[in-house]
Amino acid sequence: MTGYFKTPLKDFKYTPYLKDGHIVRKLVVLVNDVVWVDSIGRHHVIPRGFVLDLTSLPITGVVFDKLGRHQRAAVPHDWFYANKTERKLWADRQIDEAMVHDSVVWWRRGIVNAGLFIGGAFAWYSESTVLIVDPETMDVISQVKVA
């Protein structure tokens, strides 16, 4: 079994992240929970209000647009990286399975996976902040540093 989204694509919604009334470049806020079921059947709920960057690879915008079928796959991946869930290779495998689930073409998956192999270690081994805000007011609900 491979992983899959329990959340329908039509329910995958996000809004720009605003701080002090200004859009924070490259960050978005989930409007609804996103549920990812991994290959052994565990349900991972990425909560409404999670602040994430979707795909932050330098080649997005150059080789392909930041928006596309691959962006929903970035949601559980960003959550796993921010929370240091399991191991880096496991988290990277989840984004690949999510891209397969969302019918991302093989060459785009290859670019994303290569970018994670090359640049993902910095993000994985750096301290991260898991930020949850109210998507309507942008008030901080939770902010936790993860080493």
- pLDDT one-digit tens code per residue, 35-60: 999 999 999 999 999 999 887 654 44
Model pLDDT, residue 56: 62
Number of domains in the chain: 1
CA distance 23 to 2: 36
- pLDDT one-digit tens code per residue, 77-103: 999 999 999 999 999 999 999 999 999
Buried residues in 24-33 as b, exposed as e (16+ CB within 10 A): eeebbbbebe
Domain range for 111 is 4-146
